[in-house]
Protein backbone atom coordinates (compact mmCIF):
# COMPACT_ATOMS: atom_id res chain seq x y z
CA UNK A 1 0.00 0.00 0.00
CA UNK A 2 1.15 3.54 -0.70
CA UNK A 3 0.52 6.12 2.01
CA UNK A 4 1.60 9.73 2.34
CA UNK A 5 4.18 10.40 5.03
CA UNK A 6 1.92 12.68 7.06
CA UNK A 7 -0.67 9.92 7.42
CA UNK A 8 2.04 7.43 8.38
CA UNK A 9 3.26 9.86 11.06
CA UNK A 10 -0.18 10.44 12.54
CA UNK A 11 -3.21 8.19 12.10
CA UNK A 12 -2.57 5.37 9.60
CA UNK A 13 -0.22 3.06 11.53
CA UNK A 14 -2.53 2.66 14.56
CA UNK A 15 -5.33 1.87 12.11
CA UNK A 16 -3.56 -1.09 10.53
CA UNK A 17 -1.79 -2.40 13.65
CA UNK A 18 -4.52 -5.03 14.35
CA UNK A 19 -3.96 -6.48 10.85
CA UNK A 20 -0.22 -6.72 11.46
CA UNK A 21 -0.87 -8.44 14.79
CA UNK A 22 -3.05 -10.94 12.91
CA UNK A 23 -0.12 -11.79 10.65
CA UNK A 24 -1.13 -9.84 7.53
CA UNK A 25 2.15 -9.12 5.67
CA UNK A 26 2.11 -5.44 4.75
CA UNK A 27 4.58 -3.27 2.88
CA UNK A 28 4.08 0.48 3.14
CA UNK A 29 5.52 2.73 0.45
CA UNK A 30 5.50 6.44 1.22
CA UNK A 31 5.09 9.25 -1.26
CA UNK A 32 3.43 12.65 -1.43
CA UNK A 33 -0.38 12.45 -1.19
CA UNK A 34 -0.60 13.91 -4.71
CA UNK A 35 1.49 11.05 -6.13
CA UNK A 36 0.59 7.87 -4.19
CA UNK A 37 -2.10 7.04 -6.76
CA UNK A 38 0.63 6.60 -9.39
CA UNK A 39 1.84 3.51 -7.50
CA UNK A 40 -1.69 2.10 -7.77
CA UNK A 41 -2.07 3.09 -11.42
CA UNK A 42 1.17 1.25 -12.23
CA UNK A 43 -0.01 -1.87 -10.38
CA UNK A 44 2.77 -1.74 -7.78
CA UNK A 45 0.42 -1.57 -4.77
CA UNK A 46 -3.04 -2.90 -3.89
CA UNK A 47 -4.26 0.39 -2.42
CA UNK A 48 -3.24 3.94 -1.62
CA UNK A 49 -4.14 6.95 0.50
CA UNK A 50 -4.22 9.97 -1.79
CA UNK A 51 -5.66 13.44 -2.26
CA UNK A 52 -7.03 12.35 -5.66
CA UNK A 53 -10.83 12.28 -5.61
CA UNK A 54 -11.34 10.58 -9.00
CA UNK A 55 -11.37 6.75 -8.85
CA UNK A 56 -9.00 4.93 -11.16
CA UNK A 57 -10.44 2.42 -13.60
CA UNK A 58 -10.90 -0.94 -11.90
CA UNK A 59 -10.63 0.57 -8.43
CA UNK A 60 -12.99 1.59 -5.67
CA UNK A 61 -12.76 4.78 -3.66
CA UNK A 62 -13.50 5.51 -0.01
CA UNK A 63 -13.50 9.15 1.25
CA UNK A 64 -11.52 9.25 4.51
CA UNK A 65 -11.63 12.83 5.76
CA UNK A 66 -9.64 16.04 5.80
CA UNK A 67 -6.23 16.30 7.43
CA UNK A 68 -5.87 19.66 9.18
CA UNK A 69 -2.52 21.44 8.91
CA UNK A 70 -0.89 24.15 10.99
CA UNK A 71 2.08 26.47 10.36
CA UNK A 72 4.52 26.26 13.26
CA UNK A 73 7.89 27.61 14.36
CA UNK A 74 9.90 27.77 17.55
CA UNK A 75 8.86 30.63 19.87
CA UNK A 76 12.28 32.28 19.48
CA UNK A 77 12.19 32.10 15.69
CA UNK A 78 8.62 33.41 15.58
CA UNK A 79 9.47 36.33 17.85
CA UNK A 80 12.62 37.41 16.01
CA UNK A 81 11.93 36.57 12.36
CA UNK A 82 8.15 37.05 12.23
CA UNK A 83 7.47 39.47 15.08
CA UNK A 84 5.11 36.80 16.37
CA UNK A 85 3.16 35.69 13.34
CA UNK A 86 3.31 34.91 9.64
CA UNK A 87 1.75 37.57 7.36
CA UNK A 88 1.44 38.21 3.65
CA UNK A 89 4.19 40.80 4.07
CA UNK A 90 6.86 38.67 5.78
CA UNK A 91 6.46 35.07 4.53
CA UNK A 92 8.96 35.64 1.71
CA UNK A 93 11.71 36.62 4.17
CA UNK A 94 11.78 33.37 6.17
CA UNK A 95 12.76 29.78 5.31
CA UNK A 96 10.14 27.05 5.19
CA UNK A 97 10.91 23.41 5.95
CA UNK A 98 9.29 21.22 3.28
CA UNK A 99 9.23 17.42 2.99
CA UNK A 100 10.92 17.25 -0.44
CA UNK A 101 10.81 18.92 -3.83
CA UNK A 102 7.45 17.29 -4.63
CA UNK A 103 5.94 18.96 -1.57
CA UNK A 104 3.74 21.89 -2.61
CA UNK A 105 1.97 22.05 0.73
CA UNK A 106 3.97 24.96 2.16
CA UNK A 107 3.29 27.01 -0.95
CA UNK A 108 -0.38 26.02 -1.13
CA UNK A 109 -0.88 26.93 2.54
CA UNK A 110 0.56 30.42 2.05
CA UNK A 111 -1.46 30.97 -1.14
CA UNK A 112 -4.74 29.94 0.46
CA UNK A 113 -4.27 31.66 3.82
CA UNK A 114 -3.20 34.98 2.32
CA UNK A 115 -5.34 34.88 -0.83
CA UNK A 116 -2.40 34.86 -3.24
CA UNK A 117 -2.35 33.22 -6.66
CA UNK A 118 1.32 32.24 -6.66
CA UNK A 119 4.27 32.55 -4.30
CA UNK A 120 7.96 31.69 -4.24
CA UNK A 121 9.28 30.43 -0.91
CA UNK A 122 12.73 29.95 0.53
CA UNK A 123 12.75 26.24 1.32
CA UNK A 124 14.94 23.56 2.84
CA UNK A 125 13.97 19.90 2.84
CA UNK A 126 13.60 17.24 5.53
CA UNK A 127 11.96 14.03 4.21
CA UNK A 128 10.05 13.13 7.38
CA UNK A 129 7.01 14.66 9.05
CA UNK A 130 8.58 14.17 12.46
CA UNK A 131 11.86 15.54 11.08
CA UNK A 132 10.12 18.70 9.90
CA UNK A 133 8.85 19.21 13.44
CA UNK A 134 12.33 18.66 14.87
CA UNK A 135 13.77 21.15 12.38
CA UNK A 136 11.20 23.74 13.46
CA UNK A 137 12.04 23.04 17.12
CA UNK A 138 15.70 23.69 16.26
CA UNK A 139 14.85 27.08 14.76
CA UNK A 140 15.28 26.23 11.08
CA UNK A 141 12.18 28.19 10.10
CA UNK A 142 8.45 27.70 9.55
CA UNK A 143 6.92 24.38 8.61
CA UNK A 144 3.36 23.39 7.75
CA UNK A 145 2.61 19.97 9.22
CA UNK A 146 -0.47 18.04 10.34
CA UNK A 147 -1.99 19.37 13.54
CA UNK A 148 -1.99 15.76 14.76
CA UNK A 149 1.82 15.68 14.45
CA UNK A 150 2.51 19.17 15.85
CA UNK A 151 -0.06 18.90 18.65
CA UNK A 152 2.23 17.70 21.48
CA UNK A 153 4.82 20.42 20.81
CA UNK A 154 2.10 23.07 20.56
CA UNK A 155 0.62 21.95 23.88
CA UNK A 156 4.08 21.99 25.48
CA UNK A 157 4.79 25.48 24.13
CA UNK A 158 7.94 24.36 22.33
CA UNK A 159 6.27 25.27 19.02
CA UNK A 160 3.82 28.07 18.31
CA UNK A 161 1.12 28.46 15.67
CA UNK A 162 2.37 31.32 13.49
CA UNK A 163 -0.86 31.63 11.49
CA UNK A 164 -3.52 31.36 14.21
CA UNK A 165 -7.08 31.11 12.99
CA UNK A 166 -6.05 29.79 9.58
CA UNK A 167 -8.05 26.80 8.39
CA UNK A 168 -6.19 24.58 5.94
CA UNK A 169 -6.97 20.92 5.37
CA UNK A 170 -6.23 18.34 2.69
CA UNK A 171 -8.95 15.83 1.75
CA UNK A 172 -7.77 12.22 1.74
CA UNK A 173 -9.21 9.18 -0.04
CA UNK A 174 -8.50 5.45 0.03
CA UNK A 175 -8.30 3.80 -3.38
CA UNK A 176 -7.89 0.06 -3.86
CA UNK A 177 -8.37 -2.50 -6.57
CA UNK A 178 -11.95 -3.67 -6.90
CA UNK A 179 -11.16 -7.25 -5.92
CA UNK A 180 -12.90 -9.82 -3.76
CA UNK A 181 -10.23 -9.77 -1.06
CA UNK A 182 -10.64 -10.18 2.67
CA UNK A 183 -7.39 -8.27 3.28
CA UNK A 184 -8.48 -5.29 1.17
CA UNK A 185 -11.86 -5.27 2.89
CA UNK A 186 -10.25 -5.27 6.32
CA UNK A 187 -7.78 -2.55 5.29
CA UNK A 188 -10.60 -0.41 3.94
CA UNK A 189 -12.65 -0.74 7.13
CA UNK A 190 -9.63 -0.13 9.38
CA UNK A 191 -8.54 3.02 7.55
CA UNK A 192 -12.09 4.35 7.26
CA UNK A 193 -12.81 3.87 10.97
CA UNK A 194 -9.53 5.43 12.12
CA UNK A 195 -9.93 8.38 9.77
CA UNK A 196 -13.48 8.98 11.00
CA UNK A 197 -12.22 9.40 14.55
CA UNK A 198 -9.05 11.43 13.88
CA UNK A 199 -9.56 13.41 10.66
CA UNK A 200 -11.98 16.26 10.01
CA UNK A 201 -15.15 15.26 8.14
CA UNK A 202 -15.32 15.96 4.45
CA UNK A 203 -16.85 19.35 3.66
191: three-class secondary structure by DSSP: helix
Residue-level pLDDT at 32: 78
What pLDDT, on a 0 to 100 scale, did the predictor assign at position 34?
A: 74
The predicted model gives 107-134 an average pLDDT of 96
Q: What pLDDT shows up at residue 192?
A: 96
- Cα dist from 96 to 33, 116, 132, 137, 153, whole Å: 19, 17, 10, 13, 18
CB 6 within 8 A of CB 67: yes
pLDDT tens for each residue of 122-171: 999 999 999 999 999 999 999 999 999 999 999 999 999 999 999 999 99
- Does residue 38 carry a pLDDT above 90? no
* Mean of pLDDT values over 60-79: 97
**Can you list the domains of the chain with their CATH numbers?**
2-66+169-198 (3.40.190.10), 68-166 (3.40.190.10)
Amino acid sequence: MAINADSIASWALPAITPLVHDGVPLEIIHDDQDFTHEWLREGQVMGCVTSLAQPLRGCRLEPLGRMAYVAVASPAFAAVALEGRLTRHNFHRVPFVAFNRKDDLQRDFVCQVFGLAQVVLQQCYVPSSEGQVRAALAGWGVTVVPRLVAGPALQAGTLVDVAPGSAYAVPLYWHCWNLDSDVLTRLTHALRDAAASLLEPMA
